[in-house]
């Protein structure tokens, strides 16, 4: 999709279709040319509601406010409304929240995110027809907008949204087409295109690194595991960030086999690792002045004669022993070793892991919100704040000593599941805390994206299926680290 920025007013720009965002139901605004027709069509100006006036070549969409989240959703729903039409170009004015150009960035992100479709396996495609968007610097409230600043935020929007769609594609790809070796190949190709360095660990190297819990999960699959390490090292980096992602390319549950209906959509269990790949892509293309390392544990959890079993005791890379009571609690085993390896390789100022780790998180906070856990209130607050600023939803889930006792094992150092059905997202996070070393204990946050990563209906700016959860929030957070010296 091509974006063109111009100082010309919207009326003087060529474009097959004009898009008008109706903010807070304000039909009296000077941008609204078709008040009578809109009323006749029953357009009530609700958030995301659209009304296409074909005879006028205008599409109206409602937004509750000029906040970025509302404008992003409105722009995304414009693109969804145009599926199946013949329009190839559109024009639109600039919308800012009291001159803040982040709203312009949100609008551009919305157009790109809303245009996303996953058509790989369909014989008849229904892709978004819009190829060109003209953006006028004519601002909704008549404010003057600096063209260079506007151009920069549009550039950032394109990179961030494209990285999110890149992540969506990986998550949506079927397990027979995206297994650990393929995920590693995707990382290598992306690294070559963006200038990142890329190191891939195969089974022999994983064995040498004593990553036995990860290898145990992979044991019954015909697809051997990989650990991916991507690196972005700019000149004069302001701080160091490490990202770790759970890349379960498919999760059958292992010998603790999932029920049939729970096994559907388990291609999405690679969402955390896919998000790390997307974040690294954006960081490289934005050339942010932060050293960033991305680690992905890419594994397939299957059943077979060589599968690891309930009652096994595994030894993690840091030497801790783990009693296995459920082989479907495998993501935390993969993350345990990958976290240990990441901390061995990089001493970072911030350590974040991303995983579709627990159904309990979805039960607790719903499909659309990520759960943020860790030992540092400051780090958790930073993640939640920047998630909100990026348009994602996240909330902190606090650790407590009573739930920590539920993962105690009588025969090993720790058990891979708790002895209670309650608080499962938190106990999983507390399990991971066992594999965070003293140097990183107050630098780490665990982000459970099980809710928003893959939803089987469209919502907000997100389509059916993969949302790319985690990408925008972490890109925004790393941008914040690049600007705010007090966080170093």
Among 145, 172, 200, residue at a domain's last position: 145
State residue 485's pLDDT score.
87
pLDDT for the residue 337? 98
Say whether both 195 and 94 belong to one domain. Answer: no
Which residues are known to be catalytic? 258, 332
Q: Are residues 82 and 201 in the same domain?
A: no
Range of the domain at 103: 2-145
Across the strands, what pairs with 167? none
Together in a domain, 280 and 332: yes
Quote the longest CA-to-CA distance of the chain. Answer: 75
Q: Of 145, 178, 196, which residue sits at a domain end?
A: 145
Look at strands 226-232 and 291-301 and give their pairing.
antiparallel
Strands 132-139 and 2-6, by their bridges, are parallel
Query: Which SS3 state, helix, strand or coil, does residue 421 take?
Result: coil
Residue 217 CA: distances (Å) to CA of 65, 332, 353, 376: 48, 10, 19, 30
**Residue 405 has which token pair?**
């006792």
Same domain as 315, residue 203? yes
Residue 95 confidence (pLDDT): 95
Does the residue 308 lie in any domain? Answer: yes
Q: What is the pLDDT of residue 30?
A: 82
Count of structural domains within the chain: 2
Identify the pLDDT of residue 183. Answer: 98
List the chain residues with pLDDT less than 50.
none
Side-chain-facing half-sphere of 143: CA atoms under 13 Å: 15
User: What pLDDT is recorded for position 179?
Assistant: 98
User: Pick from 88, 51, 48: which is nearest to 64 by CA?
Assistant: 48
The CATH code of the domain that includes 56 is: 3.40.220.10
Query: Looking at the structure, do residues 349 and 446 belong to the same domain, yes or no?
Result: yes
pLDDT of 127 reads 86
Is 238 inside a domain boundary? yes
């Amino acid at each position: 999709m091509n974006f063109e920025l111009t100082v010309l007013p919207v009326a003087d720009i060529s474009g097959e279709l004009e898009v008008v965002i109706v903010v807070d139901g304000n039909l009296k605004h000077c941008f609204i040319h078709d008040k009578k027709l809109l009323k006749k069509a029953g357009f009530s100006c609700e958030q995301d509601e659209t009304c296409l006036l074909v005879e006028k070549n205008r599409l109206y969409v409602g937004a509750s406010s000029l906040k970025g989240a509302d404008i992003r959703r409105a722009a995304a729903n414009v693109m969804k409304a145009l599926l199946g039409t013949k329009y190839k170009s559109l024009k639109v004015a600039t919308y800012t929240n009291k001159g803040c150009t982040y709203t312009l960035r949100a609008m551009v992100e919305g157009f790109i995110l809303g245009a996303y479709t996953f058509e790989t396996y369909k014989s008849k495609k229904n892709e978004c027809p819009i190829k060109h968007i003209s953006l006028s610097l004519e601002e909704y409230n008549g404010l003057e907008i600096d063209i260079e600043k506007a151009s920069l935020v549009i550039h950032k929007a394109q990179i961030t949204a494209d990285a999110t769609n890149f992540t969506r594609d990986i998550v949506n790809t079927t397990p027979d087409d995206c297994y650990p070796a393929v995920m590693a190949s995707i990382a290598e190709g992306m690294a070559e295109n963006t200038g990142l360095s890329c190191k891939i660990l195969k089974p022999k190297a994983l064995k040498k690194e004593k990553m036995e819990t990860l290898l145990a999960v992979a044991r019954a699959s015909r697809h051997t595991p990989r650990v991916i390490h991507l690196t972005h090292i700019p000149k004069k980096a302001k701080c160091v960030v490490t990202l770790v992602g759970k890349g379960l390319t498919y999760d059958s549950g292992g010998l603790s086999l999932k029920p049939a209906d729970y096994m559907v959509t388990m291609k999405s269990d690679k969402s955390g690792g896919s998000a790390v790949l997307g974040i690294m892509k954006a960081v490289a293309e934005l050339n942010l002045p932060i050293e960033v390392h991305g680690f992905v544990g890419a594994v397939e959890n299957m059943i077979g004669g060589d599968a690891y079993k309930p009652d096994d005791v595994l030894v993690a890379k840091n030497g801790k022993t783990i009693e296995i009571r459920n082989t479907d609690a495998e993501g935390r085993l993969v993350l345990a070793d990958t976290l240990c390896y990441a901390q061995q390789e990089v001493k970072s100022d911030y350590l974040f892991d991303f995983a579709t780790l627990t159904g309990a998180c979805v039960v607790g906070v719903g499909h659309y919100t990520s759960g943020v856990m860790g030992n540092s209130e400051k780090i958790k607050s930073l993640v939640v704040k920047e998630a909100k600023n990026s348009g994602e939803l996240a909330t902190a889930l606090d650790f407590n000593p009573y739930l920590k006792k539920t993962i105690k094992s009588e025969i090993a150092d720790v058990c891979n599941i708790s002895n209670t059905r309650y608080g499962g997202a938190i106990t999983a996070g507390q399990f991971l805390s066992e594999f965070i070393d003293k140097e990183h204990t107050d630098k780490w946050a665990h982000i459970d994206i099980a809710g928003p990563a893959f939803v089987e209906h469209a919502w907000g700016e997100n389509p059916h299926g993969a949302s790319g959860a985690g990408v925008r929030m972490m890109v925004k957070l790393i941008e914040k680290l690049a600007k705010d010296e007090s966080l170093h």
